[in-house]
Chain A
Amino acid sequence: MRFTWFNLMPWPDMPDDFRERYRSVWVDIDSRLFEPRRGHEVYNTYLDQLEYAASLGFDGIGCNEHHQNGYGLMPSPNLIAAALTRRTRDAAIVVLGNSIALYNPPVRVAEEFAMLDVISGGRLVAGFPVGTSMDTNYCYGQIPALTREKYAEAHDLIMRAWREPEPFAFNGRYTKLRYVNIWPRPLQKPHPPIHIPGGGSVETYDFCIDNTYSYSYLSFSGYLRARALMEGYWERVAQRNTPDASPYRAGFAQTICVAETDAEAERLYAEHVLYFYNRCLHIFPGFTDAPGYRTIKTIQSGALAQYGARFRYQPMTWKELIEGGHVIAGSPETVRQRMEDLIRGLRVGNIFCLLHVGNMPTEKTMYSTRLFAERVMPALRGLWPDYADDDRFWCHPLENPVAPAPLAPGPGAARRGAEVSP
């Protein structure tokens, strides 16, 4: 099993009456709710948490891309990933990912991911989401019915940019470049492992199967509701005569809270979990699915209604969230049992652990994270012994990466604090 500690980076100060006073947490969220001085503290705290998780032995630390979003302060995940490369050493940097249809030209992604891979010493796990309709269509103005074609073209361009040693001309419909010749090149050959966040469309299942990419279902609604979707994926894997059904072909995001006892988990974490589920997921329904964004085939399959439910939260209680599987919370033993159900039930090798939830303060986040790392993770590590050697979907770091040099005190160092001399 591989565990990635993930922080969505929610804004922690949304008012109690957010649902009543504001239309949406996303797209047209009131900019006055963001306070930059507080933002300075929030970003640095979240980076500290990611680095702390790396120090506890999580396989990866993860970030993602959202725009104009009160629960995701990462319009540029690559900036966060770059910051993480310097104070971590072993953990994979999981960028899940860059919405490649949004970059103009898309070689920007090939370049930045190559930079991250080289700086981190081959620790990049790269994600290529289509992006939600909120991000891709409503915030970044992509035409819904053309988004997937543009995505596919961007993917082909990026892969060629990584693989082909000679400069080449790319005559795409959406991007035309005379000289594609990115510098630097990724350290991992032929390219970093790719994870594709999907929402249940058959096209995305096939895309992952055909390219040996890992399929990730990044849901907030938990493992019980994910059953049908992941079963659909594994059925497709079987139908397509895929050479193996390695669980590392799939990943899942799960909200997790660990305490000494189940009662302590509720006492410590309930308010923060409710902040996330009842406040952060308050999205204006008109933004959740621009017409044309999904393929007709996907809508006809009925997957949409299920997916749409993700964005139609009614206020929920702690009890409902636990029983519904949205949240796995409790003592280390409770969490271990339910995680094992999740891992076996969905047949997943990659878990994206949402251990910081909503407006959870850092001490509680660290407490829950440490309990998970020390008392849950070890018991789950060996769940897929038959696939222990499957390293196709994970990064291959250098054996002896360089470490950042200690800061040498130079002239004026005291005045400038810890700033580095040129």
Chain B
Amino acid sequence: MISEREITLRGRRVAVLTGGAGRDLVFLHGTGGATADDPLLLRLAERYRVHAPLLPGFGASEDAPELREMLDVTLHGFDVIDALGLARPLLVGHSMGGMIAAEMAAIAPREVDDLALIAPAGLWLESHPIPDLFAALPHQLPALLFHDVALGERLLTGGLNLEDPQFLIDFLVRNARQLGMAGKLLFPIPDRGLADRLYRIRARTLLIWGESDRMIPPVYADAFAAGLVGVAAVHRALIPAAGHLIGAERPEAVMAALASAGF
């Protein structure tokens, strides 16, 4: 059971999805945001005390125009953890959230002990350019994000009625808020120099990747692993029958990976 609550940070409302019992886990979502019925959050809440703050611009979290760049967002992550009164939670991030989590662990290596990155963004390989999410049309997303494209179509475009003007406006506003914020970190190339800072990370680190990830292909796991020279042992899990949105397709496999890494 996940419920939503709100905290105030520097005068702005931040929504936090909270639930479960156990070790504190902070989950940083990707560009699609997160909701209380997220299958991965529900699974995580079976073993952890989950806190999933919504980035400004996502859901009920207020826009924060003063967050302009990677450092601002990285520090915002710590501000949220402090405001929640958490001490050294397990830090988990997916995609854009993984990029933020990795930045947090690199900026303040003494404050992040345990880190799980699920198909994180943040690196760029000339040999494997990441598709342009910002120019993708809605009907192109399932194939980019899911192993099971038909499932992706049902999940992503089910209920979309772009012919209804008010629905269209709401859809565009949500898109502009979410992806407008995400663009500060990911547009036009999802690289803000993380590669130069990965060496600072000391946390016990788990890299989780979907074998069929066509957005950020698994070759990026190798690049992350190679960059994490300060991490004693990098745990890796490559999950079959999962695309970029592993949490939607194989939440149980993510749980197993966390367990096998000792989290």
- Please give the residue numbers on chain A whose beta carbons come within 8 Å of chain B beta carbons, in ascending order: 137-138, 141, 143-146, 149, 173, 284-287, 290-294, 296, 299-300, 302, 304-305
Contact = CB atoms under 8 A, between A and B. Distances in A.
B121 interface: no
A290 B136 CA distance: 10
B183 A299 contact: no
A355 to B, nearest CB: 34
Contacts of B173: 296, 299-300
A292 B57 CA distance: 10
B68 interface: yes
B187 interface: yes
Contact of B135 (A286, A294, A304): A286
B169 A291 contact: no
Contacts, number: 70
26 contacts: A141-B188, A141-B189, A143-B184, A143-B187, A143-B188, A144-B134, A145-B180, A145-B183, A149-B65, A285-B137, A286-B140, A287-B135, A290-B135, A291-B134, A291-B175, A291-B179, A291-B180, A291-B182, A292-B176, A292-B183, A296-B177, A299-B169, A299-B176, A302-B165, A304-B172, A305-B169
B246 interface: no
A134 to B, nearest CB: 10
Given A144-B183, A302-B165, A137 B188 contact: yes
Contacts of B177: 296
Given A137-B134, A143-B188, A285-B137, 6 more contacts: A141-B189, A145-B180, A146-B184, A284-B135, A291-B134, A304-B169
Contacts of A293: 180
Nearest to A27: B135
Interface in B156-188: 165, 168-169, 172-173, 175-184, 187-188
A293 B168 CA distance: 17
B157 to A, nearest CB: 15
Interface string B26-56: 0000000000000000000000000000000
B136, B169, B189 — which one has the most chain A CB atoms within 10 A of its CB?
Answer: B169
Contacts of A299: 169, 172-173, 176
Chain B contact patch, size range: 20 to 34
A358 to B, nearest CB: 26
B169 A300 contact: yes
Interface string B119-135: 00000000000001011
A36 to B, nearest CB: 28
Nearest to A24: B135
Interface string B138-156: 0010000000000000000
Nearest to B189: A141
A287 B183 CA distance: 14
Nearest to B187: A143
Contacts of A138: 135, 188
A292 B137 contact: no
**Nearest 10 A/B pairs, CB to CB:** A292-B180, A291-B179, A286-B135, A145-B180, A141-B188, A292-B183, A291-B175, A291-B176, A144-B183, A299-B172
Contacts of A143: 183-184, 187-188
Interface of B: 63, 65, 68, 132, 134-137, 140, 165, 168-169, 172-173, 175-184, 187-189
Contacts of A292: 176, 179-181, 183, 187
A149 B177 CA distance: 16
A294 B175 CA distance: 11
Contact of A146 (B68, B137, B169): B68
A290 B132 CA distance: 11
A289 to B, nearest CB: 8
B165 A305 contact: yes
Contacts of A291: 134, 175-176, 178-180, 182-183
B135 A296 contact: no
B108 to A, nearest CB: 25
B89 to A, nearest CB: 29
Contacts of A304: 169, 172
Given A145-B180, A304-B172, A286 B165 contact: no
Max chain A CB contacts within 10 Å: which of B169, B173, B180, B181?
B180
Contacts of B168: 305
A304 B170 CA distance: 12
A137 B135 CA distance: 10
A141 B135 CA distance: 12
Nearest to B179: A291
A285 B168 CA distance: 15
B12 to A, nearest CB: 15
Nearest to A302: B169
A293 B183 CA distance: 10
B136 A144 contact: no
Contacts of B182: 291
A290 B172 contact: no
Nearest to A301: B169
Contacts of A294: 176
Contact of B187 (A137, A149, A173, A287): A137
A144 B134 CA distance: 10
A296 B179 CA distance: 12
Contact of B137 (A141, A145, A149, A286): A286
A29 B10 CA distance: 45
A157 B184 CA distance: 23
Contact of B180 (A144, A149, A286, A300): A144
Nearest to B176: A291
A322 B166 CA distance: 31
A290 B134 contact: yes
A239 B65 CA distance: 28
A296 B68 contact: no
A300 B166 CA distance: 9
Nearest to B31: A291
B172 A145 contact: no
Nearest to A288: B135
Nearest to A149: B65
Most buried by B among A145, A299, A305: A145
A11 to B, nearest CB: 22
Contacts of B68: 146, 173
